Amino acid sequence: MLALLVVLAAAVTWLATGANRGWTKTSVPVKTLDTVTGIEGITYQNKFLPGVDFLGAALGGAALLAGASFFFRKPKTKQQPTKQPIITI
């Protein structure tokens, strides 16, 4: 269940930030035009942009969680066999 939540959260984050199909970025270039020279200056703005490696890491993490869940399962309580009424004639 937790693994599924991790995958869903990662997918929603990835989609909400523009579904970047490249690598994860922590900054994005912003271009500004210098009107006198006509040069486009580039500055970087801090912004987290998850990429396919982010999705891959989330899937890997979810797979680990799912795998680990098999080792930490609660033992099932044994069911008491129902006693059949003894019918005596």
Partner 1 sequence: MKLTHIIPLVALATAVHAAPQAFDFKDPKGVNNAVFKLDAPLESINGSASGISGTVSFDPENPAATTGKIIVASESLTVPNPMQKEHLHSVNWLDVAKYPEITFETKSLAQVKTDGNVTTAEATGTFTLHGVAKEITVPIKLTFLADKLSARVPNLKGDLLVIRANFVINREDFNIQKGQNEDKVSPTIDLSLSIAGASVK
Residues that bind partner 1 (CB under 8 A): 21-29, 32, 34, 36-44, 49, 52
- Cβ 61 to partner 1, closest distance in Å? 18
Place of tokens 């020279």: 37
- Cβ 5 to partner 1, closest distance in Å? 27
Q: What backbone phi and psi angles, to 5 degrees, belong to 48?
A: -85, 120
CB nearer to partner 1: give 41 or 60. Answer: 41
- Cβ 62 to partner 1, closest distance in Å? 22
Q: What backbone phi and psi angles, to 5 degrees, belong to 51?
A: -115, -165
Q: What angle do CA 63, 1, 76 make, to 5 degrees?
A: 105
